[in-house]
Chain A
Amino acid sequence: MTTPARVPRWFTKAAWYLALIGLSIPFVFPFLWMVSSSFKNSTEMFAFPPTLIPETLRWRNFVQVFEYQPFAQQYFNSVYIAALVTIATILVSSMAGYAFARIRFRFSTLIFFLMLTALMMPIEVTIIPNFFFMRLLGLVNTHVPLIVLPVFGSSGVVATFLMRQYFLSLPTELEEAAMIDGMGRFGIFFKIALPLARPALGSVGILTFLYSWNSFLEPLVFVNDLNLFTLPLALNTFTDSYGLPLWHLQLAATTLSVIPILVVYVLAQRQVVESFAMSGMKG
């Protein structure tokens, strides 16, 4: 493999970085606009031509966000619900995914495929019978449906699917060795398979947290109390009495709500980035 000797290394590096930056512009520009707009007033936000750097930093927007409605409470609601959903999903889906991938039991493929159907009906329609059901159980205007439905619904099934595929792609030597040593299934799962699956757990964590954090229809349907609102609902409520969005508040609130996701992302990235620990896996 020869590199053209005349092109200096720093040049290729710089070109490389430039290309990456260029590629990332359409991805990141709207995000930057969103953040910078949260410091503007409505007029400046839609000024023409649009400005990326606000003329003045209106920190007041962020204060007003908390004055307008019980935003801090709503924020907390979103955080704890998403955390619960993520933890429960990781547990439930990793167990199920492992079973589908590694354990031979009757009808396993059939059951797995059946569960995939949870993905296939649009939630706009299945939420109606679910609402009637939750009403029957007296769980309307509580957070219970918001926690339970994602874990067993499409988000949880996606997680199981992901875990299954990941477990399938792991070499089996370690598990077999453990079986020879007499370890039972639970032991193999918790002590060997699960630690190996950290990258998949990381991506399941991000996806599930995101799904719960961003879900709008479920809270809309199940929650009546302003104090029980989650963030997407709260964001939609930053309107004047004619339904017109109060952009400076909405975008400021949106910018605030982005922070936990980025935190989860960075934390989960460490799991995803982790180089394959058991490098002695080749045969």
Chain B
Amino acid sequence: MKLARFVLPAVLLVALTSLATAQQLRFTVWSGNEAHLSMLNGFADGFAETHPGVSVQFDVIPFGDYVQKVTLQLAGGNPPDLGWLAEASAPTFIDAGVLADVGDALRNDSDYDFADFSEPALGLWERGDAVYGVPFSTSPFIVYFNRDLFEQAGLTPPDVLAEQGAWTWETLKESAAAIADASDAFGFESVDGEGYGARVWHTLVPIVRGYGGEAWSDGACRLDSPEAVEAVQLYHDMVYEDASAVPPGEQGDFFTGRSGITITQLSRVSKLAEADFDWGLAPMPSGPAEDVAVIGQAAVVVFEAGQQTELATEFLAYMTNKENVAVMAEFFPPARRSVLDSEAFLSSNPMVTPQQMEIVASGIAGGRVLPNHPNFPQIDAAARPVFDELWNADADVAAVMTRVCDAIDAQLQ
């Protein structure tokens, strides 16, 4: 049995060495789409070339429950190493200290070119010098319009108006009213049709910003300012005076031709694949105060609680280098300027002309995210019941907005 004496140490040796070289990173995502996963697995394979023995496992969590499940895993001692994170959760997670600071690692990496990222796009993920996430998807809100309905109402379409510099919120209101009169469609549908519920901020804040207002700043609510009230009043009039906006409780889906204008993100363009009407894209309308570009974002983050933060950071850097961002641009609008300006990006979506893609690109380069706050869930929960008071014909907009501020002041501290 002399052989036996060698077997055990040999086995142990093999086991130990394989333990040393076989590492796995766990990466949480919310897309179960084959195409996305094979792209991500491609990144994992590429990474393994320079980091032998390292594999990346992508765990799919349904989008609606993503934050809940990740939080539970972090709390339960089962933390992922990396993951996607949507903009709404960024301040909360950063404040809670659960994200690792990757700033130094990225800046010191000479090939990475950290400066290539658009500053406004990084805004949400930076605190001073610390960088807590790298956006992989930066998707601006843009205007979709139904060309047929505009023609029917004898109106100049928004993309032409935008070139003339005449595409404003007032013009949008007038166009919507004209469309509602000239056809049995609605003039305007709020963001994803949820403007009175989950998307009330997406619907109202761009108008507020266009009029020079803001939701809050420096810990104080500014929704009761005259600018904000004027902005909300404009939308209120669209619903109750012009009867052009889809009112609460009704459905007027732009993508089936029931509304003339809507505002949402580029990804919805796939819904128009079998549309039976002619459509176009335009930038967000400008207001008296400023041109508004609003972006929605998702980033790749490294979780502080993971056991392999250094390795995870390296994978993050790999995934978001110039080459791979260009690969991801097929599905996700990039935040790297070099990719935004490239021909490849401008022709990346078969349904969107390069000209229209320019709208998206400039939205990304200059856009700001929606108002955010570590206590955003609480703010939203407190504000929405008060916003609900807006939606009747004789609502006193100024009074309601004051009440909104009263409701959320405590949370803004």
Of A90-98, A101-109, A127-135, the segment with at least 4 beta carbons within 8 Å of chain B is A127-135
Tell me the bound Cα distance from A47 to B255 in angstroms: 9
The answer to whether B60 and A226 have CB atoms under 8 Å apart is yes
The answer to whether B59 and A224 have CB atoms under 8 Å apart is yes
Residues of B within 8 A of A131 (CB): 72, 76
B385 interface hit (Cβ, 8 Å):
no
Of A186-194, A233-241, A269-277, the segment with at least 4 beta carbons within 8 Å of chain B is A233-241
The answer to whether A240 and B31 have CB atoms under 8 Å apart is yes
Residues of A within 8 A of B59 (CB): 224-226
Of A38-46, A158-166, A201-209, the segment with at least 4 beta carbons within 8 Å of chain B is A38-46
Residues of A within 8 A of B107 (CB): none
B322 interface hit (Cβ, 8 Å):
no
Tell me the bound Cα distance from A67 to B35 in angstroms: 10
A14 interface hit (Cβ, 8 Å):
no
- 16 chain-A/chain-B pairs, Cβ below 8 angstroms: A43-B255, A43-B271, A46-B251, A47-B256, A48-B253, A128-B75, A140-B78, A224-B26, A226-B59, A234-B32, A236-B65, A238-B32, A239-B30, A241-B33, A241-B267, A243-B63
The size bracket of the interface on B is 35 or more
The answer to whether B256 and A69 have CB atoms under 8 Å apart is no
Give the size of the chain A interface in residues (CB under 8 angstroms).
Answer: 32
Chain B residues within 8 Å of A, Cβ to Cβ: 26, 30-34, 36, 59-65, 68-69, 72, 75-78, 137, 139, 192, 251, 253, 255-256, 258, 265, 267-268, 270-271, 273-276, 296, 331-332
Residues of A within 8 A of B276 (CB): 43
> Interface 1/0s, chain A 53-86, versus B by CB < 8 A?
0000000000000011100000000000000000
The answer to whether A241 and B331 have CB atoms under 8 Å apart is yes
A128 to chain B, nearest CB (A): 7
Residues of B within 8 A of A240 (CB): 31, 33, 267, 270
The answer to whether A132 and B32 have CB atoms under 8 Å apart is no
A15 interface hit (Cβ, 8 Å):
no
Residues of A within 8 A of B34 (CB): 67-69
Residues of B within 8 A of A46 (CB): 251, 253, 255-256
On whether A43 and B274 interact (CB within 8 A), knowing A68-B32, A69-B34, A131-B76, the answer reads yes
B350 to chain A, nearest CB (A): 16
Tell me the bound Cα distance from A140 to B69 in angstroms: 13
Residues of A within 8 A of B61 (CB): 220
List the 10 closest A-B pairs by CB distance, nearest first: A243-B63, A236-B62, A237-B32, A241-B31, A224-B59, A69-B32, A43-B274, A242-B267, A135-B76, A226-B60
Tell me the bound Cα distance from A131 to B64 in angstroms: 19
B64 to chain A, nearest CB (A): 7
Residues of A within 8 A of B256 (CB): 43, 46-48
A-B contacts at CB below 8 angstroms, number: 90
Chain A residues within 8 Å of B, Cβ to Cβ: 41-44, 46-48, 67-69, 128, 131-132, 135, 140, 220-221, 224-226, 229, 233-234, 236-244
In the complex, which of the residues A42, A225, A233, A242 has the most CB atoms of chain B within 10 Å of its own CB atom? A242
Q: Which residue of B lies closest to A41 (CB)?
A: B274
Q: Which residue of A lies closest to B60 (CB)?
A: A226
The answer to whether B78 and A244 have CB atoms under 8 Å apart is no
The answer to whether B72 and A128 have CB atoms under 8 Å apart is yes
The answer to whether B62 and A239 have CB atoms under 8 Å apart is yes
B220 to chain A, nearest CB (A): 31
Residues of B within 8 A of A237 (CB): 32, 60, 62
On whether A241 and B64 interact (CB within 8 A), knowing A135-B76, A221-B72, the answer reads no
The answer to whether A241 and B60 have CB atoms under 8 Å apart is no
Tell me the bound Cα distance from A242 to B33 in angstroms: 11
Residues of B within 8 A of A47 (CB): 256
Tell me the bound Cα distance from A47 to B276 in angstroms: 11
Residues of A within 8 A of B253 (CB): 46, 48
Tell me the bound Cα distance from A42 to B276 in angstroms: 13
The answer to whether B36 and A241 have CB atoms under 8 Å apart is yes
Q: Which residue of B lies closest to A42 (CB)?
A: B271
Known: A68-B34, A221-B72, A229-B60. 6 other contacts (CB 8 A): A131-B76, A135-B78, A238-B32, A242-B265, A242-B267, A243-B64
The answer to whether B62 and A242 have CB atoms under 8 Å apart is no
Q: Which residue of A lies closest to B296 (CB)?
A: A242
The answer to whether B275 and A43 have CB atoms under 8 Å apart is yes
The answer to whether A48 and B78 have CB atoms under 8 Å apart is no
Residues of B within 8 A of A69 (CB): 32, 34, 60
The answer to whether B62 and A233 have CB atoms under 8 Å apart is yes
Tell me the bound Cα distance from A35 to B341 in angstroms: 45
A159 to chain B, nearest CB (A): 28
Residues of A within 8 A of B265 (CB): 242
Tell me the bound Cα distance from A69 to B265 in angstroms: 25
Q: Which residue of B lies closest to A140 (CB)?
A: B78
